[in-house]
Structure 1
Amino acid sequence: MAVNHISRGILLGLAVAVTPSALFAEEGGSKKKNLSSALEEVLVTARKRSENIQETPVAVTAISGDDLRAQGILSTAELSKSVPSLQINDSTAPQIFIRGIGQRAPMARFDPSVSVYLDGIFIPRPDGQLLDTIDIESVQVLRGPQGTLFGKNNTGGALVFTLIKPGEEFGGYVEGALGNYNEQRMRAAVDMPVNDELLTRLALASHRRDGFLKDPSSSTNQSVDRLSAIFQTRWLASDAITLDTMTFLGKTRERFPSYHCSVINEDALFINGLGILWPGDTDPSNPSAYQDNCKANDRDSLPDLVTNQGPSQRQIKHQDTLMFGATLDWELNENHSLKTILGYRDAIKKGPQQTADEGGPAAFLRGTVLDDADQESLTLELQLNGEFFDGAVEYAAGLFWQDEFKSERYLLSSPLVGADAISLAQLLAGNVPDSSLIPPGGSAPPVVGALVPLDTVQDFAIDGETLAIFTQATWHISEQFELTLGGRYTEEDRQSELITRTSDLAAVTDIVSADLRFITLDQGLGLLTYLGTWADDPITLANDILKASVTGEIGSPLGAPVRDYMDSTFKEFTPMASGSWMVPDAWLDGGFISSGMAYATWSNGFKSGFHEPSGVDGLLVVEPESLENREIGFKIDALDHSLRFNVALYSMTFENMQLITVGLDSANSLVVTSQNAGKSMIEGGEIEVLWLPSPAMLVSLTYSNNNYKFLEFDDVALTPLAVSGETVILDRSDEEFAVSPRQSASLGVQYTIVSDAGLFVPRFDLSYKGETYMGFDDGSWEVTKTNPGAVYADDYVLLDARLSWTNNNDDLSIAVYGKNLTDERYDIGAVATGESLGTFARVLGEPRFYGVEVRKTF
């Protein structure tokens, strides 16, 4: 396997944090004043039963709620600092990647490649997956395809969150924090038992913080404003039956990050490739408006933490979420149990919400979700778990069903543009315009119109139904050997309806030609001539006339609606097999190694196909993607269980990977679309190390290296398609995977000081992310051959630190913290579109944050 960078990369890493309490020996439920010299046992449920993580043949990282608090992790996005191969970007669209596999766009039609579960309930939409870590008992990150046991098939992995359950005695906590950028954070939870059989728990959270990216023409962006409440009940109906319920309410009123922009290819279609002139261009022989628009928002030319996206930006992130879950656990007998999980989720994402543009302050190109987008899902899962033959065979089997409805209204808009008569003649002849033929000042008469389609509005609704049956069994052949076999059959039905309306070009030309300076040239094409010269800036004049007549988010009259409907069913069987071997105790007595396990796994993943809106061409089918994973690993505890060393090496073959790219529809509209890359391969490795060099000190390390390679990836060149309608096939198999870095690592060090005044715990964490390719199309990859820095997010290191104090009664703690203490500037999201837009839009990550946190338990 191609994991040649692992040995030198070990020096960079971090692993899972362990809270100070985990270092203490326990006696009678209270802490003693002596520290433990051994690491605690960690239990996981990666195989639907509780197991020691060191005896589970799965690449999984488990973090307790106390661990999250000790490390200062407040949201899902921060998990990527300490979990190998996990990359989470929370910019204009949430993106979760594991081992380079994830989903880049937030549109309604995309299923996540990484599944997220809250108390067993599947969260189907990417923009709902980035949970705050509120009242979390534990989170498990499962790496690699989860094609057998977990409710919704995926190809990347799964994040499994478990809530703290209601307690049998009254009690709880209150936590508050204040920080820079006017940060105000409050969390509280209380257990309120009604009687011995009925227990309840209420958790509340509020988090507000001013934005740190200032825009002179709009509000400050990248703010935080979240309210949430979780109410749980636990009914102990009998010794054999327990019913848990959960109700979650969430309200988000934030502002997305705004971008910065840089020009990466002057020959892109919308710069010089088609000879298009934009508002502000007054000399066709030397057009500059498009590039000047981008440069007006260039990070290098603006003050620090300032952007300039203009007054038309719609950076709001407003969402209301309701979730309900009910879990019935029934111990049928001492060997078998039945679990039923019912889940419901309804989320309303409020518009208008901007999702894409070319990156400049003028509204040259805008992609916006209009009105309210609805997401509603209902899930039901049945799990039968147990054992046969006195525990020699353990099994899990069940059914999963989901019904989901999604809808959104999407607007893709651009202004009226222009073309010099010479360039227009070349385009109409099917040739690429040559600007050197245009005389200074341009030729007469100026031509203005809808050379780039003005407005396309699409109402998209999806009804999806999933039905799956799964089973997995583990045979304990001996005390050392076990064999696991499993499989899942999945059937997904997708019904999609698309209603498309485009600009009524006849009505547009009528509006503009009411000004006598403009004369209709071709009403069907939306072209007009101007009775003047280019020096008058006729493109801006025409747009001003149109804006004065048509107000609102949609900037032009729309034509008649066109309806498209598709119904498709996607089916797949995903098997798995795994074998593991435990090192015999007789080999370990008194030696360096305390326990050891080696395993080998073959597993498969599947993600459903879907229907893709493609501009005026309606719906297209994007085929399902599938993944085959071959993995080996070992897990070792050594030095009397004071050192833990886990390694996973894998090779994955990807078929029909679903990728986001840029294309053109038959009206020459630029569309963000999807396609399948024929075949690709991912090879890599992960290392996790946890070490107690002394009872008071904890050192944690992780490192991951993922080598990505396309084996088959054909695309269509945009320029000949736009100019002459010619289809030219491109081989893009030499490109890198986008968004996910090849290398990531972290280092964490924590020291516990026991004193008469209480516990003092200083801790610091370093996290490293390697440089990351951010290209969207083939033109971006071409840019890497001459200017690679133009389309890559630079590698970076973040330093976090925390000093906490806990009193001797263990009911009061105070912590001071700092995140990104070196005030590093780094990107958390970026899109390079070298062939079409010709720009690189980048989103800054969080600057230095610091504050104080107080927690009181009762």
Structure 2
Amino acid sequence: MRKLQFACLASALSLAATSAYAQDASEAPTDGDIVVTANRTSSLLSKTPIAMTAVGGDDLIASGITNPTQLEESVPNLSIVRGNGLQITIRGVTSTDGTEKGDPSAAFMVNGVYLARPQAQEVSFFDIERVEVLRGPQGTLYGRNSTAGVVNILTVQPKFEFGARADVSYGNFNALNGTAVINVPAGETIAFRVAANIDQRDSYLIDGAPNDGVTLNKFKDNKSVRLSALFKPTPDLSLLLVGDYSKVKGNPTNGVPTTQFYSNITSGGRQNFSAPTYLGADPDVARTLSRTQAQQAFRNNEEKGVMGELNYTLGNVTLTYLGSYRESERKEFSNAANGAFSADFAGKYWQTSQEVRLAYGGDGPLQAQIGGYYFKEKSGIAFFLNNLLGANTRFGFPQDPTIAENKSVFGQATYEIVPDLKITGGVRYSHDLKSRVGNTVVDYYDSIGTSYSIGNFIRRQINQNNDAKRTFSRVTWRAGVDYDTSLGLIFASVSTGYKAGGFNDGCEIGKGANCALPAEALYYDPETLTAYEAGFKFRFSPAFRLNGTIFHYDYAGLQLSQLSDICGGPCQVTTNAAKAKVDGVELDAQIQPSDRLTVRLALNWLDARYDEYAPAYNDTSVTPNVRRSVNFAGRALNRSPKWSWVAGANYVLPVGEGRIVFDAQTAARSRYEVTDLANFAYFYQPAATKTDVSVTYRAPEDRFYFAAFAENLENNLVVTGASTGLFGAVTFADPRTYGVRAGVKF
């Protein structure tokens, strides 16, 4: 019911491999505590020495959180925005390469299974047990691409009792989200659970060109179903099987011209960092897309997969196997340059992952686990822009196949050297292979209107071959100490993270036809991060909890991506920045002066900045052109506000045997940068607040509820992305929304 689980906000470190059968894990959660699996085994959140937030499924429903982008107010120093898929930023660490060759910096997982493609990550939150967000590098237990942290969605497992529930919400923008769940036991050893969800809404954009024959709605029209089966013949043996299918449809148009948010935009290489003027226009004006659209845009994607988790316990040893296979199919017609050019994308992806872990636990001082992991992803895609390079041309990127493969082994152990004082150490070895075969091409036709009306093919011009292959290996590790005092947990750690390098479009000189790039321009190196962290999770009394974390990052080889025209047209180019530093403090408190009133407070300070970074550019203002550089040292990393805070209150009013719950919360962020590195344009989002309120009636024993809600009362359009040039656009977070929701369970 609470918007934030502040009892879950705390930080620090430790690879504590607390076994699911250790003493702490067997304790029943009390007073808002929760069981989490941050260490890949079960432990109480209050006893888990890791910087993390856990939000329970009931809290997600009560707060109206139906997708990952809405987690920002619940997790310190987190930003999740829509770009080419989800872009996750944790404590200033992020990735902007959403192409088939790119990797995120935060690992996004469902039931512990890594989802590689950002486009597959905006899953609807339905029938969720909890969401766990781990802040800081998780390179030992989670491995690949967890430099920023981990977001893990855990669905509800089947239960050995009959049950059902339904939840529905409806709001402005014709937003409809409905979930139906039924749980059926089939004897004493097997149970089944089926959950289905519909998630729809209109676009947040206002159609300012209603006569162009193109509609912007619906932005989202998703339908999903999940079938789970749990087989538990003995207390020591269990097998969980989950299959899911989603049809993801809608209109992907989500940006407006940059000039609707900013004026006096200066771009191009220069030594100063002059910012544009933020217009602060009326929200209805700012989100109006008046440009005529080249074609009707649509999204028609499929996501499906199966996973299985086997757990077998023999004495103090537990064997876990986690395997999965997933397929994605994408078909999207869109518009580029705010509607000037039509575009189309088709892609097929599959991925598989296999993990085996062996955990040792019990009542003794030692908790340990070892494991091995294998992951492989393969895709074939084709992206084309129509008439960009002249009439009746299709400029595009047919790439098939693109392959990523990871093999890892890992181990960690926690030892209680004296009562309540534990030390932890862990290490992981990762080997990554990445390869791609493809082209950058210009196809000529006798006529091209839009993606719907393409004439007869004439010829193909290959601008360059996009053939590359690289391998990377790295050892990551973690060490920590924690002490369980009478007030609560104190902890400290040093941990490392690693994200594999990769390659840009093109191929290396001398390795084939149309290969014109030197190795230093084609390839980019891994990024690495070393985090130093300390924190506490204190409970001064049942009415007062206080958690805190302080951290410092040494961040090297940042992989920065932007659009470039070096391919003869727009393409994604990734380079390594030299170094960055990140410092921060996270504090949160929960105060409960009475059984009816709960107050939530959080304050975060973040200083995420470039330490050494001097990208080069051609100065065309002189003849001949001169190669110069811009010094970014000291500049803030993108989407990294220096200050953020949350204040909220929850009041319960008994009504008969039921109750009315009043909830209000304001979240605020200071100004932060959204730099367009490709054009050296320095956009920013001014300081802003977001206030959410709700009133809920809950029947006795929570048999049913109904509520009214309003979010972003200020109607602030918070900038989530900004760029200039031909393809320049601004994207923004949700405007003011309001509606009703209701649910019933039995």
TM superposition score normalised by structure 2: 0.86
Q: Does 1:261 align with 2:258?
A: yes
Provide the C-alpha distance between the structure 2 equivalents of 1:723 and 1:620, rounded to a whole number of angstroms. 28
Out of 186, 191, 202, the residue aligned to residue 199 of structure 1 is: 191
Residue of structure 2 in register with 1:279 after alignment = none
Provide the C-alpha distance between the structure 1 equivalents of 2:581 and 2:529, rounded to a whole number of angstroms. 9
Q: 1:752 is paired with a residue of what secondary structure?
A: strand
Q: Does 1:410 align with 2:312?
A: no
Provide the C-alpha distance between the structure 1 equivalents of 2:449 and 2:174, rounded to a whole number of angstroms. 39
Q: Is the 8 Å Cα contact of residues 39 and 692 (structure 1) preserved in structure 2? A: no
Q: Is the 8 Å Cα contact of residues 709 and 739 (structure 2) preserved in structure 1? A: yes
Deviation at 1:650, TM superposition (A): 0.7
Q: Does 1:341 align with 2:322?
A: yes
Residue of structure 2 in register with 1:397 after alignment = 370
Q: Is the 8 Å Cα contact of residues 151 and 381 (structure 1) preserved in structure 2? A: no
Q: Is the 8 Å Cα contact of residues 82 and 702 (structure 1) preserved in structure 2? A: no
Q: Does 1:465 align with 2:447?
A: no
The one-letter code of the counterpart of 1:456 is F
Q: Does 1:743 align with 2:643?
A: yes
Provide the C-alpha distance between the structure 1 equivalents of 2:408 and 2:455, rounded to a whole number of angstroms. 42
Q: Is the 8 Å Cα contact of residues 147 and 605 (structure 1) preserved in structure 2? A: yes
Provide the C-alpha distance between the structure 1 equivalents of 2:460 and 2:255, rounded to a whole number of angstroms. 29
CA RMSD of aligned residues (A): 3.2
Deviation at 1:838, TM superposition (A): 7.9
Residue of structure 1 in register with 2:693 after alignment = 801
Q: Does 1:126 align with 2:118?
A: yes
Residue of structure 1 in register with 2:735 after alignment = 847
Out of 46, 50, 55, the residue aligned to residue 42 of structure 2 is: 50
Q: Is the 8 Å Cα contact of residues 18 and 67 (structure 1) preserved in structure 2? A: no
Residue of structure 2 in register with 1:72 after alignment = 64
Deviation at 1:18, TM superposition (A): 8.4
Q: 1:775 is paired with a residue of what secondary structure?
A: strand
Deviation at 1:350, TM superposition (A): 0.9
Q: Is the 8 Å Cα contact of residues 119 and 162 (structure 1) preserved in structure 2? A: yes
Change (3 A) 1:269 1:574: closer
Deviation at 1:152, TM superposition (A): 3.1
Change (3 A) 1:746 1:298: closer
Out of 553, 559, 572, the residue aligned to residue 658 of structure 1 is: 559
The C-alpha deviation readout for 1:55-108, integer Å capped at 9, x for no partner, is: 222111111111112222111111111210111112554211100111224211
Residue of structure 1 in register with 2:19 after alignment = none
Q: Does 1:566 align with 2:472?
A: no
Q: 1:57 is paired with a residue of what secondary structure?
A: coil
Q: Is the 8 Å Cα contact of residues 505 and 567 (structure 2) preserved in structure 1? A: no
Provide the C-alpha distance between the structure 1 equivalents of 2:552 and 2:177, rounded to a whole number of angstroms. 43
The one-letter code of the counterpart of 2:49 is P
Residue of structure 1 in register with 2:272 after alignment = none
The C-alpha deviation readout for 1:694-738, integer Å capped at 9, x for no partner, is: 111111122222212212213221454998675434433343212
Q: Does 1:325 align with 2:300?
A: no
The one-letter code of the counterpart of 2:396 is V
User: Which structure shows the bigger proportion of residues in strand conformation?
Assistant: 2
Deviation at 1:561, TM superposition (A): 7.0
Residue of structure 1 in register with 2:529 after alignment = 627
Out of 341, 352, 361, the residue aligned to residue 378 of structure 1 is: 352
Provide the C-alpha distance between the structure 2 equivalents of 1:63 and 1:302, rounded to a whole number of angstroms. 33
Residue of structure 2 in register with 1:284 after alignment = none
The C-alpha deviation readout for 1:25-50, integer Å capped at 9, x for no partner, is: xxxxxxxxxxxxx8332222222232
Deviation at 1:769, TM superposition (A): 2.5
Change (3 A) 1:397 1:266: closer
Provide the C-alpha distance between the structure 2 equivalents of 1:60 and 1:605, rounded to a whole number of angstroms. 16
The one-letter code of the counterpart of 1:623 is D
The one-letter code of the counterpart of 1:464 is A
The C-alpha deviation readout for 1:654-684, integer Å capped at 9, x for no partner, is: 11110013434275x4543110001111111
Deviation at 1:305, TM superposition (A): 3.8
Structure 1 window deviating more from structure 2 (149-158 vs 724-733): it is 724-733
Provide the C-alpha distance between the structure 2 equivalents of 1:723 and 1:457, rounded to a whole number of angstroms. 33
Provide the C-alpha distance between the structure 2 equivalents of 1:235 and 1:778, rounded to a whole number of angstroms. 53
The one-letter code of the counterpart of 1:345 is R
User: Which structure shows the bigger proportion of residues in helix conformation?
Assistant: 1
Out of 1, 8, 16, the residue aligned to residue 5 of structure 2 is: 16
User: Radius of gyration: which is bigger?
Assistant: 1
Q: Is the 8 Å Cα contact of residues 811 and 856 (structure 1) preserved in structure 2? A: yes
Q: 1:79 is paired with a residue of what secondary structure?
A: helix
Q: Does 1:711 align with 2:615?
A: no
Q: 2:577 is paired with a residue of what secondary structure?
A: strand
Q: Is the 8 Å Cα contact of residues 180 and 850 (structure 1) preserved in structure 2? A: yes
Q: Is the 8 Å Cα contact of residues 814 and 855 (structure 1) preserved in structure 2? A: yes
Residue of structure 2 in register with 1:244 after alignment = 240
The one-letter code of the counterpart of 1:54 is S
Change (3 A) 1:269 1:87: closer
Change (3 A) 1:266 1:485: closer
Provide the C-alpha distance between the structure 2 equivalents of 1:185 and 1:547, rounded to a whole number of angstroms. 37
The C-alpha deviation readout for 1:202-234, integer Å capped at 9, x for no partner, is: 001112222231222331257221111110000
Residue of structure 2 in register with 1:214 after alignment = 206
Residue of structure 1 in register with 2:479 after alignment = 577
Change (3 A) 1:66 1:472: same
Change (3 A) 1:772 1:118: same
Q: 2:636 is paired with a residue of what secondary structure?
A: coil
Change (3 A) 1:188 1:409: same
Deviation at 1:579, TM superposition (A): 0.8
Deviation at 1:491, TM superposition (A): 0.2
Change (3 A) 1:563 1:189: same
Change (3 A) 1:553 1:599: farther
Provide the C-alpha distance between the structure 2 equivalents of 1:322 and 1:554, rounded to a whole number of angstroms. 35
Provide the C-alpha distance between the structure 1 equivalents of 2:652 and 2:148, rounded to a whole number of angstroms. 37
Matches within 5 A, 1:422-437: none
Q: Is the 8 Å Cα contact of residues 15 and 702 (structure 1) preserved in structure 2? A: no
The C-alpha deviation readout for 1:107-138, integer Å capped at 9, x for no partner, is: 11111111111111111111222222111111
Q: Does 1:456 align with 2:395?
A: yes
Provide the C-alpha distance between the structure 2 equivalents of 1:555 and 1:767, rounded to a whole number of angstroms. 54
Matches within 5 A, 1:451-850: 456-460=395-399, 461-502=401-442, 552=454, 558-560=460-462, 562-583=464-485, 585=486, 595-613=487-505, 620-639=522-541, 641-665=542-566, 667=568, 669-720=569-620, 727-777=627-677, 780-781=680-681, 791-827=683-719, 829-833=720-724, 837=725, 841-850=729-738
Q: Is the 8 Å Cα contact of residues 619 and 627 (structure 2) preserved in structure 1? A: no
The one-letter code of the counterpart of 2:237 is I
Q: 2:119 is paired with a residue of what secondary structure?
A: helix
Provide the C-alpha distance between the structure 1 equivalents of 2:66 and 2:503, rounded to a whole number of angstroms. 36
In structure 2, runs of 5+ residues without a counterpart are 9-29, 270-278, 508-513
Residue of structure 1 in register with 2:26 after alignment = none
Deviation at 1:554, TM superposition (A): 11
Provide the C-alpha distance between the structure 2 equivalents of 1:114 and 1:666, rounded to a whole number of angstroms. 29
Change (3 A) 1:71 1:371: closer
Q: 2:58 is paired with a residue of what secondary structure?
A: helix
The C-alpha deviation readout for 1:542-584, integer Å capped at 9, x for no partner, is: xxx9979x9639999642475342221110000110011222x
Residue of structure 2 in register with 1:81 after alignment = 73
Q: How many residues align?
A: 697
Change (3 A) 1:206 1:709: same
Q: Is the 8 Å Cα contact of residues 14 and 745 (structure 1) preserved in structure 2? A: no
TM superposition score normalised by structure 1: 0.76
Residue of structure 1 in register with 2:294 after alignment = 312
Q: Is the 8 Å Cα contact of residues 202 and 229 (structure 1) preserved in structure 2? A: yes
Q: Is the 8 Å Cα contact of residues 59 and 648 (structure 1) preserved in structure 2? A: yes
